[in-house]
Structure 1
């Protein structure tokens, strides 16, 4: 017998109400992020360090841009996919003075950046002079100067964000890997590197608070990835214990400890910054899954750099991706592999566009976030 119209209506309303209760995310409205301001290292640098020192060489950028585009990959980074998903253009690097447009945000990340002040900096050292404090200082200056230009800058005013964008924007962070690397490369023991983590995380929290004071409200924070799976770690520390995924276990354990302390710091930040929406994103788990289930996702040669030269991991001190080196009297250009789209690692340090796209697709729905809020709803501090 057919269900009466009134009863059918009641049943439908009951289902809708249950869906809202059981899936509170569906009750939230998508956020209207007019801009993104990004802070971090080479995992999200869209041209900062290359503009400050040496622009990336071919074959960097070959997959999507068909030329070097200031990114340490063959193509797009996670931050590029984030921008596109929100309907925004790719972020211009703050340090890149050529062809920049800051209407919808700016990128303060630079390759080789650390959270804490580095002991050695490029060009004579290993790390970026633009560590997280410096990125914060640049951002504070950017707010002030961009609004002066907005009011008095003639044609340049159209390249600056609106004043209200700073509070409405999404603030993204991906930094910490180089702090751990700094300890490893300084011959510190694992215990010593772990002992340095609380201070590193504390400096991170201080910068979040300072950026919050400047008006930021929506934060999307990545933890650090499985550093022990990277070819440069595997090649540099061949005596490390290897886990079932082929990764250097002790180095991953340090990354996991860093992530634990970072997550605890974010819990405290939520208490200290009551108006903020802070989303902690577990990129570690997503990246590690590339090494544990590669066939499922179509990847191969997991620990071998696509663009590199020498050794088991196609990574050595002979030269880096894009270099021309002399080997046994012959000049060799260090180029890319045949199928970057099937590789996880690009140059020994960084991920391929294919791997970056995989990570973005997994993290954007919110399954790996705390709270489990999708990227498009990251302006909400909780689910209800």
Structure 2
């Protein structure tokens, strides 16, 4: 992609009109943020906890109906899962409540962070304009930052924003759309599209940095071609995966790593981790028994040969008796049981699955002190252990 075309993409993205969201009901008197780390979550359906419930979109973009949510919450919440997802497990390890969607206007304590993720959310705005793309989600972050300044004061707000973790999962939807429309794309055309996605993604990460963000957790794109939905669409069996979209995911993940390294070099105080969602999930798809699962090619819920589509949307869908035996709950999203294992790897994993830090180490990094208002050496990791406290209620 030429420099001029990239600038056009960034310019068009920057001109997006961010929908105004009233924070009136969130207003609270000034209070102390305490010594905990906020987590701000951005992404697509893998991270959505129900923001799409509040959007005027069709049922295909929502999961606010049974059997979603049946395992843990005992009701649908908008999560594309039978229970908790990776951001929920991160919240649990960080001793903050399970997420409610940002668009839920009931009181939320934004000193804990916020979840802006939207199923169908993309990096490139035009790929799916009816959901919350990355730029829109960053716009909501600015609204939260403004509210924190108003309710806590500048110093406390800066402490939250500087020490907070900015956790994102993007790209999968962009590549699924691209795959459906460009199956005959050449290698150079594929690489050009990946470069465009990463270029837009980098732009918004730098925007978060300008708003105060210093600690970034990137979940890379999963093995899209091995999902039950893709296997069903392309009549694949056994360990076969649709290689076209697998290649795009691999190209993206390599570019994401290079982007993070470059931003660390370029931006003072920028610290990051990359969680290898691709490999950790693919391992469970290719050898489910090794990780305690019985089935990885067929989803627990859905219709078709792999139960790859239609979970809960029609009376004809099938539902397994025990989601814990399955890697996937529906055609494109893992079960709570699978997410539980991946959440543990994100938080405590070794450098083969999350690098150069795991989430616990990133959590323990103190970037900015509100007591004296200056930056701390971001390479020094606190030695104290953070206890894991399960949150009992949603």
Partners in 1 of 2:128 and 2:221 — Cα distance? Answer: 22
Q: Tell me, yes or no, if the aligned pair for 1:173 and 1:222 is still in contact at 8 Å.
A: yes
Look up the match of 1:227. Answer: 224
1:210-359 to 2 correspondences below 5 Å: 210-238=207-235, 245-310=239-304, 312-316=305-309, 320-324=310-314, 332=315, 334=317, 336-359=319-342
* 1:105 to 2:113 alignment: yes
* 1:63 to 2:63 alignment: no
Partners in 2 of 1:294 and 1:369 — Cα distance? Answer: 18
Partners in 2 of 1:373 and 1:33 — Cα distance? Answer: 19
Partners in 2 of 1:99 and 1:141 — Cα distance? Answer: 15
Q: Tell me, yes or no, if the aligned pair for 1:36 and 1:91 is still in contact at 8 Å.
A: no
Unaligned runs of 5+ in 1: 1-31, 123-127, 152-160, 325-331
Q: CA deviation at 1:77?
A: 0.3
Q: Tell me, yes or no, if the aligned pair for 2:288 and 2:295 is still in contact at 8 Å.
A: no
Partners in 2 of 1:55 and 1:177 — Cα distance? Answer: 18
What does the per-residue CA deviation read over 1:132-181, in whole Å, with 9 as the maximum and x for residues that have no partner? 11111111122113433557xxxxxxxxx955211111111111100101
Inter-CA distance 383–302: structure 2 relative to 1 (3 Å threshold): farther
Aligned residues: 324
* 1:165 to 2:149 alignment: no
RMSD over equivalenced CA pairs, Å = 2.3
Partners in 2 of 1:117 and 1:205 — Cα distance? Answer: 14
Partners in 2 of 1:174 and 1:104 — Cα distance? Answer: 19
Partners in 1 of 2:118 and 2:166 — Cα distance? Answer: 16
TM norm structure 1: 0.78
Q: Tell me, yes or no, if the aligned pair for 1:91 and 1:102 is still in contact at 8 Å.
A: no
TM norm structure 2: 0.76
Partners in 2 of 1:176 and 1:120 — Cα distance? Answer: 12
Partners in 2 of 1:82 and 1:282 — Cα distance? Answer: 15
Query: More displaced, 180-189 or 337-346?
Result: 180-189
What does the per-residue CA deviation read over 1:319-339, in whole Å, with 9 as the maximum and x for residues that have no partner? x21123xxxxxxx35353111
Q: CA deviation at 1:296?
A: 1.3
SS at match of 1:37: strand
Inter-CA distance 315–72: structure 2 relative to 1 (3 Å threshold): same
Inter-CA distance 370–334: structure 2 relative to 1 (3 Å threshold): closer
SS at match of 1:44: coil
Partners in 1 of 2:147 and 2:379 — Cα distance? Answer: 34
SS at match of 2:166: strand
Inter-CA distance 267–134: structure 2 relative to 1 (3 Å threshold): same
Partners in 2 of 1:369 and 1:197 — Cα distance? Answer: 22
Q: Tell me, yes or no, if the aligned pair for 2:217 and 2:273 is still in contact at 8 Å.
A: yes
